């Protein structure tokens, strides 16, 4: 495939000659039936990619590699929690996926059915995802250990025929039982799946319900020689849904296609990650997040690479564990998050020198803004390129980064990079809808339609929400909003400045502040609450809550405040999981509001971060904000 050495020309061609460009990228995967039309954008903002083509994601990730690299490592499943290592060649992975596919079919799963996966970072989770893709089922992965009520809402929305889970995960040496959480979720859910498939790791007891719950080891033994052919599906057939936080409590299922996603990932492995078949890719994410889908399971395997699937912390048994994995398995490509790097920065630097990691070519970081000191520290420590990248659950692959597979470009610390081919990125004035074209003007980062292949098709079962949420927030324009502020310098490098909505980013996990507010407001003592994201040196942001109580005497002394705070924290843990727990809950007499009654979250955030809250004339009672400022000190 001919390529320009000039990234600007390459990028312009992807925008100006869109169909020709993507027809070339489509050659990176195998099709049973070639696409008849590259992009159908007859009904904006809904884009259909590679229309008429039929393909299969599992065939492209696994089966097609059997011809040339059947015995090469494909999946390296490691756990520093259980001190286990399992390595599967492409041939072995192929067989395990067929066994899982046969078991799912025996449980009644057919093409188009949903399978909810609620799993720790173990090999069987990868088998389940790939098996769904193999038989044309739609998987919906929910982060392992997610709280029961949140899991229940996702079960209700996805309506899965089957759920695949495990007895427990483990974190920091402590078991996290999944089965009780799953059982409670199934009690809460109005929708009741027919079958639950359980992987028993021997970490926690499991109560199995007769007729509904099935043991993976028992069913696997019945299908050891299974041969399950790939189901060829239309390019536009959904491959999976993945729930992402919104500004309301209702879960928002990002729906991804099959052919567009396969092409987008295969192209990204070449143009962004400079991947070569036979190399090894280590993403430290989790399959519960989009990075885990794109760059633990599908992307590396599409490229014929081995992929590392790791259960554990970056500091257990010591802060050298990641580098020991890099050395042992000759990892060439590593993908992590700034939070993890900030954690490692606090450890003994000797661990960075303990192992021979000269095999490592590049470290990519994403999930939250990468601050310059963190980037500089890890760059100096590893002496390899550090490449930031910016994207979303919705897009499935990077919007902004450096495409060094097309042209080598210098990293600019503090910036995720330039617009990636296929993404027609614009900076828009939030109030007027006008495009900002001069350098260093602050605007909303937006993308002109059609979104490139691999991005969400719609919100699962809610086309109206897809349009209203993403395409109508900027006045007078049908344009996709990322809901992030940004600026672009004279050289085309973007800098992300934070959210325009009420979603915060805690250690790479997107959380809706409204969801946390609804949870806290459900406590009988709370009359009103506001939650904001506050900058944190390690996690990027943490949630901070400001609550008005119904009875002020309940929090008039330190003991009362601590007791109520603990009760509310426990409630958030139970309903949303520990990741959503606020760093602090401050009890206040009044919350700052406009005269029309709108909560001034941005002013609260500024005060919490010891910044100037700006103009106070719009506040009904400026004293409310000043009192909070004085309380915080």
Instruction: Summarize pLDDT for 205-224 with one digit per residue, the tens.
Output: 999 999 999 999 999 999 99
Residues 485 and 508 in one domain: no
Strand partners, 54: 33, 234
Instruction: Indicate whether 20 belongs to any domain.
Output: no
Residues 468 and 562 in one domain: no
Domain harbouring 569, CATH code: 3.30.300.30
Q: How many domains does the chain have?
A: 2
- Distance in Å from the first CA to the final CA of the chain: 61
Residue 388 above 60 pLDDT? yes
Instruction: Summarize pLDDT for 533-544 with one digit per residue, the tens.
Output: 898 888 888 999
Lowest average pLDDT, out of 237-241, 511-515, 523-527, goes to: 511-515
Instruction: Indicate whether 534 belongs to any domain.
Output: yes
Instruction: Indicate whether 256 belongs to any domain.
Output: no
Instruction: Indicate whether 546 belongs to any domain.
Output: yes
**Winning range, highest mean pLDDT, from 238-252, 339-353, 447-461:** 447-461
Q: Which of 461, 480, 499 is the last residue of a domain?
A: 499
Residues 536 and 465 in one domain: no
Residues 472 and 543 in one domain: no
Instruction: Indicate whether 308 belongs to any domain.
Output: no
Residues 516 and 627 in one domain: yes
Residues 531 and 614 in one domain: yes
Counting Cα atoms < 13 Å in the Cβ hemisphere of 137 gives 30
How many angstroms separate the Cα of 352 from the Cα of each of 223, 319, 385, 616?
45, 8, 16, 49
pLDDT at 251: 80
Residue 365 above 50 pLDDT? yes
Residue 560 above 80 pLDDT? yes
Residue 142 above 90 pLDDT? yes
As a whole number, the mean pLDDT across the chain is 92
Residue 3 above 50 pLDDT? no
Residues 494 and 555 in one domain: no
Residues 619 and 516 in one domain: yes
Instruction: Summarize pLDDT for 450-465 with one digit per residue, the tens.
Output: 999 999 999 999 999 9
Instruction: Indicate whether 472 belongs to any domain.
Output: yes
Residues 523 and 545 in one domain: yes
Q: Which of 480, 499, 518 is the last residue of a domain?
A: 499
pLDDT at 4: 43
pLDDT at 1: 35
pLDDT at 444: 94
Instruction: Summarize pLDDT for 545-555 with one digit per residue, the tens.
Output: 999 888 888 88
Q: Which pairs from 29-32 meet CB under 8 Å and 24+ separation?
A: 29/55, 29/60, 29/259, 29/262, 29/263, 29/266, 29/302, 30/55, 30/59, 30/60, 30/64, 31/55, 31/259, 32/56, 32/232
Residues 529 and 594 in one domain: yes
Residues 567 and 597 in one domain: yes
d(CA 155, CA 191): 7
Q: What percent of the chain has pLDDT over 90?
A: 72
Instruction: Indicate whether 561 belongs to any domain.
Output: yes
Domain of residue 531 covers 504-632
Instruction: Indicate whether 129 belongs to any domain.
Output: no
Under the banding of pLDDT at 50, 70 and 90, the label for residue 596 is: very low
Residues 489 and 517 in one domain: no
Q: What is the average per-residue pLDDT within 10-28?
A: 98
Q: Which of 466, 499, 532 is the last residue of a domain?
A: 499
d(CA 121, CA 79): 8
Under the banding of pLDDT at 50, 70 and 90, the label for residue 577 is: confident
Under the banding of pLDDT at 50, 70 and 90, the label for residue 62 is: very high
Residue 618 above 60 pLDDT? no
């Amino acid at each position: 495939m001919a390529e320009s050495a000039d990234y600007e020309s390459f990028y312009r061609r992807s925008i100006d000659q869109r169909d020709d460009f993507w027809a070339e990228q489509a050659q990176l995967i195998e099709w049973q039936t070639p696409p008849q039309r590259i992009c159908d954008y007859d009904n904006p903002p809904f884009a259909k990619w590679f229309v008429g083509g039929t393909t299969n994601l599992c065939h492209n990730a696994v089966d097609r590699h059997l011809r040339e690299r059947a015995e090469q490592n494909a999946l390296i499943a490691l756990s520093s929690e259980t001190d286990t290592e399992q390595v599967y060649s492409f041939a072995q992975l192929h067989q395990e996926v067929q066994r899982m596919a046969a078991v799912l079919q025996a449980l009644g799963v057919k093409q188009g059915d949903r399978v909810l996966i609620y799993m720790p970072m173990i090999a069987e989770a990868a088998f389940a995802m790939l098996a769904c893709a193999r038989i044309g089922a739609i998987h919906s992965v929910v982060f392992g250990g997610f709280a029961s009520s949140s899991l229940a809402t996702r079960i209700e929305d996805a309506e899965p025929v089957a759920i695949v889970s495990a007895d427990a995960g483990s974190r920091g040496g402590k078991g996290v039982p999944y089965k009780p959480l799953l059982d409670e979720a199934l009690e809460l859910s109005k929708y009741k799946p027919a079958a639950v498939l359980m992987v028993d790791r021997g970490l926690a007891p499991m109560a199995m319900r007769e007729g509904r719950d099935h043991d993976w080891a028992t069913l696997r033994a019945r299908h050891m020689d299974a041969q399950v052919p790939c189901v060829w599906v239309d390019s536009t057939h959904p491959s999976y849904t993945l729930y992402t936080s919104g500004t309301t409590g209702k879960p928002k299922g990002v729906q991804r296609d099959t052919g567009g996603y396969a092409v987008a990932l295969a192209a990204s492995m070449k143009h962004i990650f400079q991947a070569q078949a036979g190399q090894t890719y280590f993403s430290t994410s989790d399959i519960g997040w989009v990075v885990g889908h794109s760059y633990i399971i599908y992307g590396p395997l599409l490229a014929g690479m081995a992929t590392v699937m790791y259960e554990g912390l970056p500091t257990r048994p010591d802060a050298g564990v990641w580098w020991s994995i890099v050395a042992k398995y000759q990892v060439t490509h590593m993908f992590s998050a700034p939070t993890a790097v900030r954690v490692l920065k606090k450890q003994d630097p000797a661990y960075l020198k303990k192992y021979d990691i000269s095999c490592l070519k590049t470290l990519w970081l994403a999930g939250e803004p990468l601050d310059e000191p963190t980037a500089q520290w890890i760059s100096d420590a590893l002496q390899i390129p550090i490449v930031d990248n910016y994207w979303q659950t919705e897009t499935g692959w990077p919007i902004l980064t450096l495409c060094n597979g097309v042209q080598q470009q210098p990293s600019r610390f503090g910036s995720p990079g330039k617009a990636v081919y296929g993404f027609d990125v614009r900076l828009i004035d939030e109030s007027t809808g006008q495009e900002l074209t001069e350098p260093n003007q602050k605007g909303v980062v937006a993308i002109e339609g059609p979104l490139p292949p691999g991005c969400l098709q719609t919100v699962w079962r809610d086309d109206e929400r897809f349009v209203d949420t993403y395409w109508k927030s900027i006045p007078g324009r049908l344009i996709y909003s990322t809901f992030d502020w940004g600026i672009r310098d004279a050289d085309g490098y973007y800098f992300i400045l934070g959210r325009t909505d009420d979603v915060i980013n805690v250690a790479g996990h997107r959380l809706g502040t409204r969801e946390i507010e609804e949870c806290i407001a459900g406590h009988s003592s709370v009359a009103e609450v506001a939650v904001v994201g506050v900058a944190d040196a390690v996690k990027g942001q943490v949630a901070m809550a400001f609550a008005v109580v119904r009875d002020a005497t309940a929090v008039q002394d330190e003991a009362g405040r601590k007791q109520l705070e603990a009760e509310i924290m426990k409630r958030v843990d139970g309903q949303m999981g520990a990741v959503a727990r606020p760093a602090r809950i401050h009890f206040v007499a009044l919350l700052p509001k406009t005269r029309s009654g709108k909560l001034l979250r941005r002013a609260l955030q500024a005060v919490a971060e010891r910044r100037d809250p700006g103009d106070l004339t719009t506040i009904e009672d400026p004293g409310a904000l000043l009192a909070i400022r004085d309380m915080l000190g």
